Structure 1
Amino acid sequence: MMKRGVLMSGILSLLLLTGPAFGQNYEQIAKQIVNTSAGVKPGELVVITGGQHTLPLMEAVAVEVTRAGGQATMMLGTDKVARAELMEMPESAIQADKTNNWLLQADVLITLPQYEDGRAVMAGVSPARMAKFSQVAAASGLTEKLDASKLRGVFVSYPNKSFAAAQQLDYPSYEQMVWGGIGADYAAIAGQAERLKQTLATGKKMRITSPAGTDLTLELGGRPVFTDDGVVSAADQQEKLIYNRTAALPGGRIYGTCQETSGTGRLAAANDYISDGKPLTGFKADLKSGQLANVRADAGADAFQQQMAPYGPTAMQITNFSIGLNPVMKPQSDKSYNPNTAAGMVYLRTGNNSLLGGTNKSPGGYSFPIANATVEVDGKVLVRNGQLVSTAVASTAPAPKKSRK
């Protein structure tokens, strides 16, 4: 990725956007992003980032920011420029993105996908060179500055034909699902998130199992727990941690950290892809004192090890988790499509968790989808066989015009 892309993905790996309720009405989508999710106010500086293929929506967002009285600035990237930076920039010239100093002065960041074909952009980039971009970004101190800033963010995406083709997804169905995700009942999702948050915030031990062979335990240790229900409310805007001032569209996740050295057991991940599209199938690893060991896979184990090696051992430490809450988003594990917002979808992640209140500052890491997981906290079942255990199930409905206090 380009430096800006690395930084944005490091700030938040949140995906998402648009739905049949909106169709291709970019003006209406922009109103949802600017007024409901971001709550832009007069006089605020709003930075809008994205790729050439997202320009119509970026433009609509900028117009809506102006109507709300904000000051809109657009930062556009293209696959060709990103590819040139990754492959052709002299290594001695790789440095942290200087525009981040300006970004920290903004009030709002609205991010759309930068790459139209991310796998093509990243194809053939060596793990060492990718690590160099991440390492200089980490050395810039941006992570530490984000919590202290006033910045709040909305991370937006929408169906991509290149991605769908690479995943062998039926594009019309995939497009309709992702568009429908933004029309979920976010009030119901918020209620469910708050109930789960109470359990996770006070819980001591989490156990995660799966039919594929995952059976591990994590110590929660009273760390912060974060919820995303698609809106940065007025109350959220006053929070100290950047993740509490961030939303995604479609939203629907609850996430947090574990004690970094606490993980024990076995991890078996759902099929996935590494960086530029190399398959990672049948992945398994042991977990000892929080560290992944004895890594093996049906395919992709060597590529995985090569990708992670430049970051050192802390990049192989299980540090955080997430549970999806959006009932519209559906995984297709046979095609390695595992949206992290899908209701009941569980992810475990390694590496940096400093923005989540943790202590791991590794510039590298990896996210593992756990299909059909069962999650227990102190014996209380939160997810069973990939299904949320709750009396309140978020339903599909037009996104409400709300601004929670």
Structure 2
Amino acid sequence: MKNRYAQTSGLLGLLLLASPVLGQNYEQIAKQIVNTSAGVKPGELVMITGGQHTLPLMEAVAVEVARAGGQPNMLLTTDKVARATSVEMPESAIQASKSSNWLLGADVLIQLPSVEDAKTVLAGTTPERQAKFAKVAAEAGLNKKLDAAKVRGVFVSYPSKSYAANQQLDYASYEQMVWAGIGTDYTAISTQAQQLKQLLATGKKVHITSPAGTDLTFQLAARPVFVDDGVLTAADQQEKLIYNRTAALPGGRIYGTSLETSATGRLAASPGTWNGKPFQGFKADFKSGQMANAKADVGNEDLQKYLATYDPSVMQLSSFSIGLNPAMKAQEQKGYNPNTAAGMVLVGIGGNELQGGQNKAATSNSFPIANATVEVDGQVIVRNGQLVAPITAKAAPGGKKSPKAGSR
């Protein structure tokens, strides 16, 4: 799981992203983002970031912030500028972002996609360059500052024709699914997430298997468990950890960290992408939490360069995630594995400090496991990629989540 706040740019990073779709009701979507998910209040400073392609929705969000009595401030970028920063800037000039002060001073961050075609933007970048961005960001200590700050965040992803083309997805179906995922029934998701959170918060041992060959166990060690159910309630907004003050659209995910030295077994990941290129047949062994014998059938050269660039802490199993959104669907053979898809399981390696873990590695990565079976202390909560306990949320495209207790 990538750190949403401190990625290759040192602050906002490059997400797998999207462009606005003609004909969408941006005003309606903005109301959901500002009033339901972020809970913007009068007088709050709201930073709104995104790419040039997202300007119509950014504008609608800014207008809605003003209508709610907040103070909107927009930060816009383009693919060309993002590429210049990520790939063309002299390596000697790479340093921690100086723009973090406005983030730390804001009440709310609403982040839309910064680039439209991440594959093109990142083409030609090297693992060494990416590692330098990650190193200077880590040294700046933004993670600790974010926990101590008051800012809360809502991250909005939505359909992109370039991303769909890169993944060989049917754009019309993909577009419809993402908007349905944003408008799903978050009340049902929240109910299920809270029940799973209680089980994971008190559990000790997780066992993950899959038909592809995953057979992995790790310990939970009473770490924080985070719920992303698409809405930040008044209670959420007062939480100490930044990830408890963070929501995504589409939402629907429960996640946390593992005891860093506890992972044992075999990981066989589903097909995906690495630096925008196909990544298939990944397998690795784990012993005492450390990854070994990592190899991919397709994309192995880039993988090995990545592993050789960082210190061993990046190869330590550190996190897990289970998707809860029934509207989101994976297409495994095309490498499309949204982490919010109901029953989708991801495990992560590397830094997990923002999630309450102890691994301070400068970067992190995650691997999807489709059709997984997950047991917590022997109790099955996912079987062959299907959520089985305690309640299966039902999609309700266009629906809205009822406020949880303590919400505004």
Normalization by structure 2: what TM-score?
A: 0.94
Matching residue's letter, 1:320: S
1:234 aligns with 2:230: no
Match of 1:317 in 2: 316
2:51 pairs with 1:51? yes
Does the Cα contact within 8 Å between 1:15 and 1:248 map onto a contact in 2?
A: no
Distance 1:238 1:106 in 2: 15
Alignment of 1:180-259 (within 5 A): 180-259=180-259
* Paired residue type of 1:341: T
Q: Does the CA-based 8 Å contact 1:290-1:317 persist in structure 2?
A: yes
How far off its partner does 1:401 sit?
Answer: 5.5
Q: Does 1:8 align with 2:7?
A: no
1:130 maps to 130
Q: Which amino acid aligns with 1:368?
A: F
Structure 1 residue 117 and structure 2 residue 121: aligned? Answer: no
- Contact in 1 for aligned 2:17/2:116 (Cα 8 Å): no
Partner of 1:368: helix, strand, or coil? strand
Q: Partner of 1:382 in structure 2?
A: 381
Distance 1:291 1:182 in 2: 36
One-letter amino acid of the structure 2 residue matched with residue 284 of structure 1: K
Distance 2:371 2:178 in 1: 20
- Structure 1 unmatched runs, 5+: none
Give distance in 1, aligned partners of 2:156 and 2:364: 22
The Cα shift of 1:402 comes to 3.1
Counterpart residue type for residue 385 of structure 1 = N
Deviation of 1:183 (Å): 1.8
Q: Which residue of 2 aligns with 1:139?
A: 139
Q: Could you tell me how far apart the structure 2 residues matched to 1:295 and 1:24 are?
A: 43
- Partner of 1:235: helix, strand, or coil? helix
Is the CA contact 1:320–1:349 (under 8 Å) kept in the aligned structure 2? yes
Alignment of 1:148-187 (within 5 A): 148-187=148-187
Distance (whole Å) between structure 2 residues aligned to residue 218 and residue 28 of structure 1? 43
Task: State percent identity of aligned pairs.
Answer: 67
In 1, Cα distance between equivalents of 2:187 and 2:247: 14
Q: Is the 8 A contact 2:255 2:322 kept in 1?
A: yes
Q: CA deviation at 1:396?
A: 2.0
AA aligned opposite 2:303: F
Counterpart CA distance in 2 for 1:336 and 1:36 is 32
Partner Cα separation in structure 2 for residue 145 and residue 121 of structure 1: 29
Once the 2 structures are TM-superposed, how far is the Cα of residue 300 of structure 1 from its aligned partner?
Answer: 1.4
**Contact between 2:255 and 2:320, CA under 8 Å: does it hold in 1?**
yes
Q: Partners of 2:7 and 2:291 in 1: how far apart?
A: 28
Match of 2:326, SS?
coil
Structure-1 residue corresponding to 2:339? 340
Give the aligned partner of residue 392 of structure 1. Answer: 391
- 1:294 is matched with 293
Measured in 2, the distance between the counterparts of 1:72 and 1:323 equals 33
Q: 1:155 to 1:16 in 2, by over 3 A?
A: farther
CA distance in 1, matches of 2:27, 2:287: 51
Cα RMSD after superposing both structures: 2.0
Three-state SS of the structure 2 residue aligned to 1:41 is coil
Aligned length: 400
Indicate the larger mover: 209-218 or 93-102.
93-102
- Runs of 4+ displaced beyond 6 Å: 1-4, 13-19
- Is the CA contact (8 Å cut-off) linking 1:206 and 1:377 kept in structure 2? yes
8 Å Cα contact 2:323/2:342 also seen in 1: yes
SS in structure 1 of the partner of residue 12 of structure 2:
helix
Q: Cα distance 1:219–1:314, how it changes in 2: closer, same or farther (>3 A)?
A: same
Secondary structure at 2:293's aligned position in 1? Answer: strand
Q: Deviations over 1:308-330 (max 9, x none)?
A: 32221111111000000000000
* 1:371 maps to 2:375: no
**Which structure 2 segments of 5+ residues have no match?**
none
Contact conserved, 2:195 with 2:390, CA < 8 A, in 1? no
Partner SS state of residue 339, structure 1: coil
Q: In structure 2, what is the Cα distance between the partners aligned to 1:109 and 1:220?
A: 30
Who is 1:266 aligned against?
A: 266
Mapping 1:347-362, distance limit 5 Å: 347-362=346-361
> In the aligned structure 2, how far is the partner of 1:160 from the partner of 1:56?
14
User: How many angstroms apart in 2 are the aligned matches of 1:107 and 1:372?
Assistant: 39
Distance in 2 between the 1:329 and 1:251 partners? 10
Change (3 A) 1:59 1:5: farther
| Structure 1 residues 66 and 192, CA gap change in structure 2 (3 angstroms) | same
Residue 295 of structure 1 deviates from its aligned partner by 1.2
TM-score, normalised by the number of residues in structure 1:
0.95
Cα 1:236–1:154 change in 2 (3 A) is: same
Task: Specify whether residues 224 and 264 from structure 1 end up closer, same or farther in structure 2 by C-alpha distance, changes over 3 A only.
Answer: same
Shift in CA distance, 86/4, structure 1 to aligned 2, threshold 3 Å: closer
Distance 1:366 1:16, change over 3 A: same
Q: 1:135 to 1:223 in 2, by over 3 A?
A: same
Contact persistence 2:371–2:385 (CA under 8 A)? yes
> Which residues in structure 2 correspond to 1:90-101 (within 5 Å)?
90-101=90-101
Superposed CA deviations along residues 111-132 of structure 1, whole A, max 9, x for unmatched, are: 0000110010001111101111
Q: Could you tell me which residue of structure 2 aligns to residue 305 of structure 1?
A: 304
